[in-house]
Structure 1
């Protein structure tokens, strides 16, 4: 478990949660949780490399015996102040930073709402009916190693500052060693990316969330656009001018993209509906959320009319099987499996989706439309 203290509370008459504590996550499912979901989380508890996509994917939603409400908090690195949270239904996560406490809830978003937070010093998983107030009401200690329990809330508080500083130093050293291939996630600012209500956010718990683009900077001993060390004082320095960076040295903004059957890259800017005869939903998803329709050939009519949706949530691409007849087979780094009807999953670069009848969709990263050119190929698919 990430360094810190863990306490639980059981209040008679309040909403109960089946809770699993892992090495890098805390998950709470509305009690009584189905055996499939709780067992999968318990198996993942000892895996220090488990990713948030695998945790969410292990919880049954959109099918018989589905979980209507759950919350997961996951630490992506050794830094305990950086947390990813996922909520569904009436589950909420209250997050505390030096600036105060805020509540992260689902806001009616289905199948779930995901966000990333920085500067977190404490958090609580509970139900929306619980008041948002200071943490510290939980009084029952929880063993950190792979614990399973039933409670109405669970609270985590970070270790002393020395432990957090050590983790931050380790993270910075790792990033420095990675060099030119490091993908940087800015902590603040950034251009809004994705829809207003169906996004993955990155923010401090006490500040409004903002979505972030992913950029890959180029390094050749100097920062892009920087002329190097300052010239010594004197006439030469006064006359020196800093040359602008050539276009090829500018960072390229990458966005999730797909290609069908080895075709050209297709960046996902708006939600995309793919099928034999895709139709837009009768009720639009909100301002700026008009769907893009992509038609594919299916001589045997194996691909459904509106088969699959691809939608960007923050920096992640989410695929949803739209209750297709043939189903969708996912090929990824962790293996191959068939999506459940109506299921939504995060599909990282390198994933391929088989809709049937020879329709294969490759997922990768590609430059955003209008992005500056990069000095090397930014298409994340293998290149000859």
Structure 2
């Protein structure tokens, strides 16, 4: 179980989230959320082995109905009891503000579908809120202490690695005694403020101290270990240390990027023209390799050990060794096992904030 204190608040006029707090994760879904999804997530709150993939799997996809607004979701997950390492997944209006010794940074969905994933280190605090909320450092947790596993409704959720001392407890009120799913926090019970707060203490082993600022660049936030490798076509084997753009005539984004983050452009032959000019992006998010179909004309077919599926235009998906991506015209990208001999970034290779 991860050490820390979770505090929730309700701001007048802000969009609310359904919040599920587990031993290893905090998940927020736009309220009102699907009851089945909330129930499934609540059933995982005590599972110390649950992975980020399983958590995201339980969250419904974006609405398809015309005119229906998808406010999105966010999941913050601790892969180990070391609370300084965090993986975040966001979509839509949900954002995760990450605190580190170097300051606060915002991680948002950037319009990526079905979601955007990144891994962060040296984290000293996390705040989940909506994109319209201003970026500000994590506040001081005030309010009642509640069970470590809970569901509730709020507009803001904050986590701090410091466990709440017992002397800081206050009597539980109607807004905080929710071991099961409850209604929205009642801002009228908060003394002369615009927010009502609720704190959930998560206890466990003390996290290790990690010095230095957080590695908050999703492209550069590699976990220890060799980066992934791919084979493009028959014999073009590449180690993915920065984004790779594949297509007939791939073009780099118009926005300038640092030299270390500038994408590799990999042109491929397509006699019949079924491969788009800039067809697919491969990038590393944390420990995972993510493939994104860049709204190609004829699509991308993903083959894995469990089956075959055609990626939706603009869709991002985690791909694992043994998977293949078929762009058409015999252009096959194979995801290879990482090699221990492959070059890997070190702390001095990554930008510091």
Deviates more, 1:1-10 or 1:57-66: 57-66
Paired residue for 1:104? Answer: 105
Tell me the CA shift for residue 290 of structure 1: 4.1
Map 1:342-353 onto structure 2 (within 5 A): 342-353=314-325
TM-superposition CA deviations, 1:107-161 (whole Å, max 9, x none): 78553462323464x643234337535331454846715x3x4311224455579
Q: 2 CA distance for matches of 1:138 and 1:279?
A: 53
Equivalent residue, structure 2, for 1:235: none
Partner of 1:303: 275
Is 1:117 the counterpart of 2:121 in the alignment? yes
**1:43 correspondence with 2:37:** no
d(CA) in 1 for partners of 2:70 and 2:238? Answer: 34
Cα distance change of structure 1 residues 316 and 8 upon mapping to structure 2, 3 Å threshold: same
Alpha-carbon deviation of 1:70?
3.8
Asked if the contact 1:272/1:311 (under 8 Å) is kept, the reply is yes
Secondary structure in structure 1 of the residue aligned to 2:228:
strand
Distance (whole Å) between structure 1 residues aligned to residue 262 and residue 123 of structure 2: 35
1:214-245, Cα deviation, whole Å (9 max, x unpaired): 34xxxxxxxxxxxxxxxxxxxxxxxxxxxxxx
Residue 75 of structure 1 corresponds to which residue in structure 2?
78
Q: Is the 8 A contact 1:306 1:324 kept in 2?
A: yes
1:280: how far off?
A: 0.3
Change (3 A) 1:370 1:314: closer
In the alignment, is the contact (CA less than 8 A) between 2:219 and 2:242 conserved in 1? no
Shift of 1:333: 6.2
1:326 to 298, 302, 309: 298
Shift of 1:344: 1.9
Higher CA-based Rg: 1
2:293 corresponds to 1:283: no
**TM-score with structure 1 setting the length:** 0.59
SS in 2 for 1:105: strand
Aligned to 2:335: 363
Question: Unaligned regions of 5+ residues in structure 1, if any?
Answer: 169-186, 202-211, 216-253, 372-384
- Output the TM-score relative to the length of structure 2: 0.63
Q: Given the superposition, is the C-alpha separation of residues 296 and 68 from structure 1 closer, same or farther in structure 2, using an over 3 Å criterion?
A: farther
Aligned length: 292
Q: Which moved more, 1:314-323 or 1:362-371?
A: 362-371
Give me the whole-angstrom Cα distance separating, in 2, the residues matched to 1:312 and 1:12.
38
CA distance in 2, matches of 1:283, 1:96: 29
CA shift at 1:66, angstroms? Answer: 7.1
Higher RCO, 1 vs 2 (CA within 8 Å, ≥6 residues apart)? 2
How well do the aligned residues superpose, as a CA RMSD in angstroms? Answer: 4.3
The answer to whether structure 1 residue 163 and structure 2 residue 135 are counterparts is no
Residues 135, 71 of structure 1: CA spacing in aligned structure 2 closer, same or farther, 3 A cutoff? farther
CA distance in 2, matches of 1:126, 1:370: 34
Q: Secondary structure at the match of 2:205?
A: helix
Give the SS at the match of 1:214: coil
Q: Which residue of 2 aligns with 1:199?
A: 219
Asked if structure 1 preserves the Cα contact closer than 8 Å seen for 2:324 and 2:333, the reply is yes
Aligned match of 2:16: 16
Q: Could you tell me how far apart the structure 1 residues matched to 2:50 and 2:158 are?
A: 21
Separation in 2, partners of 1:4, 1:107? 23
User: Which SS does the other structure have where 1:43 is aligned?
Assistant: helix
Q: Which runs of 5+ in 2 are unaligned?
A: 166-202, 346-353
Relative to its length, the structure with more helix (as a share) is 1
